Structure 1
């Protein structure tokens, strides 16, 4: 299928229009993450070979971006399917080693804390049920075999419930200082599309690449491709609902080709108002309820100068521009990453991903996925981005 329209949209104008036209649209309170850093690096699905795509009026890339920015869907419900293949080995029993409990100060690490669900979408295919009724009522449920995890935002209350462990996590919003929303990972095509559009600049080609049917809806396909070499990103394809402007689907493949790294899209969607009872929640009898830290105590917890990655991220810097930009920070941990003999399962997992490198910066280890790579030097510095191993080494050499 030939491109519906081939046009490089003016990057600066796109970015400004996207920011200024964006309304206070529905933001889902989501329980899980695919891998936050990949949200702006979504790849392209090969064009459909048949001629069954909808015949829609012509639209430019600039007009389609503006349509997304002006989208103001306040009510919806549906099912989202997310598949992720970063090329990581099965985490299996390492899950608890990599993310042992909550980072939100809940103390004993409730399994219902959204942060405890983060590793689950790193690999495999998952189904989410989503519902929204304005900015104050949203629900996302992760459907598991014989169990379900739900995160419900209703007014000032945010509830997480893990049916497998019968545990409940509860936090109360406190205006702009609320803590749970700050770390929201993307879970719907809209979430990913918003992050992807922020990456559009003069290093990017933006075109309209035909039309498609998604979840029974007619949609345009927006194609975003990096112009730079050195990035692992292939392209971004976003299916945009022709009527509402809501992103319905995105797919990510790396520049190296092969299967999609991330594929997320609605399989069913309705724009009718969900029943009010959808957002009601009362902790089940006998459930263990964990209250999140709130107010000054919680904010003080965030400001603690911890060691390792958490402490280092506070001083993060960005090197380079566009798709080949690299984030760097100092963990303060000397001696590089622990080996398998030093830290058991976690060290063995890291060893399986690591590739020893050296340069003007010294020595270090590159940990690779099919999309995002990270160099951890022996003196405790980290360089990470959707770039090749050689690009990381060059960034480390330049940053020394």
Structure 2
């Protein structure tokens, strides 16, 4: 079977410097689920679905990927359970410190602040969509609820705990953009698309049996890196057998244990949600914060507000699953620990000192993403091992 090729061919592209072999990432995103998956084509290993329950027609990996690509679910609603375990300590005691900066003066209903809660622990989301102009994501908490609603040109965020409202105008991807780009970016579908659109011949993609997800028959697509040095063991995507919509996304670390990230529907319906689902008016007495897109480059975009860690303009070193982002913090010498105050000291206590041809620095580790911060303020980060970061820094000098 010939490998499945994406629109991006391997080799030197318009954003690659032929003298250094590095690519300038126009939008290097470090989502919790798919960090390090940054190559250009898909090399599919021919594989057929194994027997299992339910008993579905056999399908090859290439056919299943094509089924996902052709999926065009415009109307749906359901409940999604999201669990993230990066192995980070509880930062609850530092919330006051972290919120005392520029973001501290913003609205608690701002999705840039509220939805960072998804980066740790287990959460329940309610999602709904009715075409490209109407989506809603609600983060359900014990005593409160946070909702992000896109209805036509309006985007509303509402935090019931503080009775605060955030309002802006929807960012559109343009006529040539993905017509599904405005659907809620918190479902397994979104994470699966991120994983599939940029893997290459360094990747094994196979079908591994069938399963049942949210009461529906599904195939299991497994993506595994072939490269040494990646911290990712595999990504498993549960694909609805009828619609091709990814219903579950699981990322497992090479170190073993619980998944680093798991997002899956527990309930799903493909009927049109009631029109009232997308209606919103600020409650009486609510504090409303207005923001005008265009003046703030970080204004909410329904195509990417759930992908924290946007490192726009970063250089990338390597390829495939061992891609490393490089950027300059501007903090030279020992300034980084001073600038961060209590936060800087806390982070410093978590890191491991390292040295090499590049000089000295500190490696901060999670179960998936590792980052090397050198004493001259350069950062190397990716879903790679500590040794891979040190080697990249050495070779960069």
Normalising by the residue count of structure 2, what TM-score does the alignment of the two structures yield? 0.82
Residue aligning to 1:90:
90
Distance (whole Å) between structure 2 residues aligned to residue 55 and residue 283 of structure 1: 49
Q: How far is 1:122 from its partner? A: 1.9
Cα 1:129/1:301, change in 2 over 3 Å: closer
Normalising by the residue count of structure 1, what TM-score does the alignment of the two structures yield? 0.81
Distance (whole Å) between structure 1 residues aligned to residue 137 and residue 325 of structure 2: 31
Distance (whole Å) between structure 2 residues aligned to residue 325 and residue 373 of structure 1: 12
Q: How far is 1:238 from its partner? A: 0.2
Answering whether residue 25 of structure 2 is matched by residue 36 of structure 1, we say no
Q: How far is 1:251 from its partner? A: 1.1
Distance (whole Å) between structure 2 residues aligned to residue 137 and residue 163 of structure 1: 21
Residue aligning to 2:68:
68
Residue aligning to 2:282:
283
Residue aligning to 1:319:
317
Q: SS at 1:38's partner residue?
A: coil
Residue aligning to 1:45:
none
Cα 1:247/1:137, change in 2 over 3 Å: same
Answering whether residue 135 of structure 2 is matched by residue 144 of structure 1, we say no
Higher helix share: 1
Deviation per residue, 1:68-120 (Å, 9 max, x gap): 000000000000000110000011132343465776xxx93100000112431
Q: Conserved in 2, the CA contact under 8 Å of 1:222 and 1:240?
A: yes
Deviation per residue, 1:9-48 (Å, 9 max, x gap): 755x24249xxxxxxxxxxxxxxxx961533579xxxxxx
Distance (whole Å) between structure 2 residues aligned to residue 102 and residue 298 of structure 1: 14
Q: SS at 2:65's partner residue?
A: helix
Gaps of 5+ in 1: 1-8, 18-33, 43-50, 303-309
Cα 1:224/1:183, change in 2 over 3 Å: same
Residue aligning to 2:47:
none
Distance (whole Å) between structure 1 residues aligned to residue 279 and residue 245 of structure 2: 26
Cα 1:249/1:328, change in 2 over 3 Å: same
Distance (whole Å) between structure 2 residues aligned to residue 293 and residue 227 of structure 1: 45
Deviation per residue, 1:220-240 (Å, 9 max, x gap): 000100000000000010000
Distance (whole Å) between structure 1 residues aligned to residue 324 and residue 30 of structure 2: 16
Residue aligning to 1:125:
122
Deviation per residue, 1:202-228 (Å, 9 max, x gap): 000010000000000000000100000
Distance (whole Å) between structure 1 residues aligned to residue 185 and residue 366 of structure 2: 19
Distance (whole Å) between structure 1 residues aligned to residue 184 and residue 99 of structure 2: 15
Cα 1:202/1:98, change in 2 over 3 Å: farther
Q: SS at 1:253's partner residue?
A: strand
Deviation per residue, 1:240-269 (Å, 9 max, x gap): 000000000011110111111111100000
Residues 247-326 of structure 1: pairs in structure 2 closer than 5 A: 247-295=246-294, 297-299=295-297, 313-326=311-324
Distance (whole Å) between structure 1 residues aligned to residue 211 and residue 299 of structure 2: 47
Q: How far is 1:139 from its partner? A: 0.2
Residues 92-241 of structure 1: pairs in structure 2 closer than 5 A: 92-98=92-98, 108-173=105-170, 175-176=172-173, 186-241=185-240
Cα 1:102/1:59, change in 2 over 3 Å: farther
Q: SS at 2:376's partner residue?
A: coil
Residue aligning to 2:18:
none
Answering whether residue 15 of structure 2 is matched by residue 15 of structure 1, we say no
What RMSD, in angstroms, separates the aligned Cα atoms of the two structures? 2.9
Cα 1:191/1:176, change in 2 over 3 Å: closer
